[in-house]
Amino acid sequence: MKIAVLAGDGIGPEITGQAERILLALRSDGLKLELEPGLLGGCAVDAAGEPFPEITRRLVKEADAVLLGAVGSPKYDGLPREKRPEQGLLAIRKELNLFANLRPAILYPELASVSSLKPEIVSNLDILIVRELTGDIYFGQPRGIERREGQRVGFNTMIYTEAEINRIAHVAFQAARKRKGRLCSVDKMNVLECTQLWRDVVTETGKEYPDVKLSHMLVDNAAMQLVRDPKQFDVIVTGNMFGDILSDEASMLTGSIGMLPSASLDDRNKGLYEPIHGSAPDIAGKDLANPLATILSIAMMLRYSFAQEEVAMRIEHAVRKVLAQGFRTSDIYEPGMKKVGTREMGDAVLANL
């Protein structure tokens, strides 16, 4: 199992550092894995002049899976768009054809009182957001900022092909089939043609899954329903941009954005695994970041890319035990608990592994 580790920027190295310690512990335990570091994002701009250098491209192509921290920093805000750290992440997703982004929002019972919502609204929460990751307004052409008739005009294109919608719908229906059998597709078909096609194609794909109960919801309502009654959802499937926004929203139901892992998969389970949060420049380098989303991302890696379900569960179990023992980074801290830094949280997970 060859794993490319792209720590990235900001808190990236701190959080992937803890995940790597877990992987190394599993290796000493007999798991055959190799870790290969690489540069992506702002650190790659600094070292090689571009966010996704050729050497990193080769590394991730050859690897069986990729572990990513986060990219980006206000430091690069003045750069031309193609040099921005985020372009590295978008390019890697496109290059590896990682169209299916799975973002599970699970509330650990110990964190019920840390959620921004009342414990009874979030208790036992277990939602899976399936976000399409290589299309939509993120990649649509034409795009740009131009001068037209004496003023600047900014424009992007929201676009999905039938094939793109169909393949992500299959991923979502299959996930729903293995869970509670409910799928909610989120769109904005009352205004946007692109998402009318989304709704039509998801409905057509649904005919192949009579055992899954399909519903549709407009995105503004979905954003509201997620905080009104999140447990009505089992699996949510949506496009790239709506999925980005709704998953950050859903993360707070679980206590913190520092708790949400993700898997970005192609059609053969080659995957990139990363927390859903960013590089958190406000807390970078201070040993404050919560590494659990990244640690839970390696559990997803072992499950999806390496079919090591037992090891994945061992990691998830260790995280559960650490929370039960009261270890809390600042983002999930409440009085009476043991406040720890990034590294100590890693220590605690290792001790429970």
Give contact residues for ligand NAD (rule: CB under 6 A): 70-73, 86, 89, 257-258, 274, 277-283, 289-290, 293, 331
Active-site position among 29, 46, 220, 267 = 220
220 is known as an active-site residue: yes
Nearest distance from C-beta of residue 346 to ligand NAD, angstroms: 12
248 is known as an active-site residue: yes
Quick one: which of 88, 31, 16, 85 has its CA closest to 293? 16
Which lies closer to ligand NAD via its Cβ, residue 162 or residue 282? 282
What would the 3-class secondary structure string for the chain be?
CEEEEEEECCCHHHHHHHHHHHHHHHHHCCCCCEEEEECCCHHHHHHHCCCCCHHHHHHHHHCCEEEEEECCCHHHCCCCHHHCHHHHHHHHHHHCCCCEEEEEEECCHHHCCCCCCCHHHHCCCEEEEEEECCCHHHCCCCCEEEEECCEEEEECCCCCCHHHHHHHHHHHHHHHHHCCCEEEEEECCCCCHHHHHHHHHHHHHHCCCCCCEEEEEEHHHHHHHHHHCHHHCCEEEECHHHHHHHHHHHHHHCCCHHHCCCEEECCCCCEEECCCCCCCCCCCCCCCCCCHHHHHHHHHHHHHCCCCHHHHHHHHHHHHHHHHCCEECHHHCCCCCEECCHHHHHHHHHHHC
Mask 271-300, x = binds ligand IPM (CB under 6 A)? Answer: -----x-x----------------------
138 is known as an active-site residue: yes
Which lies closer to ligand NAD via its Cβ, residue 7 or residue 353? 7
Which lies closer to ligand NAD via its Cβ, residue 132 or residue 331? 331
Residue 331 interacts, among ligand IPM, ligand NAD, Mn ion, none and using kind-specific CB cut-offs from 5 to 8 Å, with ligand NAD
Kindly indicate which of the ranges 52-60, 82-90, 201-209, 310-318 contains the residues binding ligand IPM, using the contact rule CB under 6 A: 82-90
Which lies closer to ligand NAD via its Cβ, residue 185 or residue 279? 279
Neighbour-count burial of 149, counting CB atoms closer than 10 A to its CB (0-12 exposed, 13-18 middle, 19+ buried): exposed
Q: For residues 81, 82, 85 and 91, what is the CA-based torsion angle, rounded to 10 degrees?
A: 130
CA angle 281, 63, 137 (to 5 degrees): 55
Residues 103-142 interacting with ligand IPM (rule: CB under 6 A) = none
Q: Residues forming the annotated binding site for substrate?
A: 93, 103, 131, 220
Active-site position among 126, 200, 248, 266 = 248
Would you count residue 244 as binding Mn ion (CB under 5 A)? yes
Which lies closer to ligand IPM via its Cβ, residue 59 or residue 98? 98
Which lies closer to ligand NAD via its Cβ, residue 90 or residue 169? 90
Which position among 110, 136, 244, 316 is part of the footprint of ligand IPM (CB under 6 A)? 244
Nearest distance from C-beta of residue 243 to Mn ion, angstroms: 9
Nearest distance from C-beta of residue 90 to ligand IPM, angstroms: 6
Name the closest residue to Mn ion (Cβ): 244
Active-site position among 187, 244, 273, 331 = 244
Nearest distance from C-beta of residue 25 to ligand IPM, angstroms: 27
Nearest distance from C-beta of residue 98 to ligand NAD, angstroms: 12
Nearest distance from C-beta of residue 114 to ligand NAD, angstroms: 12
Active-site annotation, residues: 138, 188, 220, 244, 248
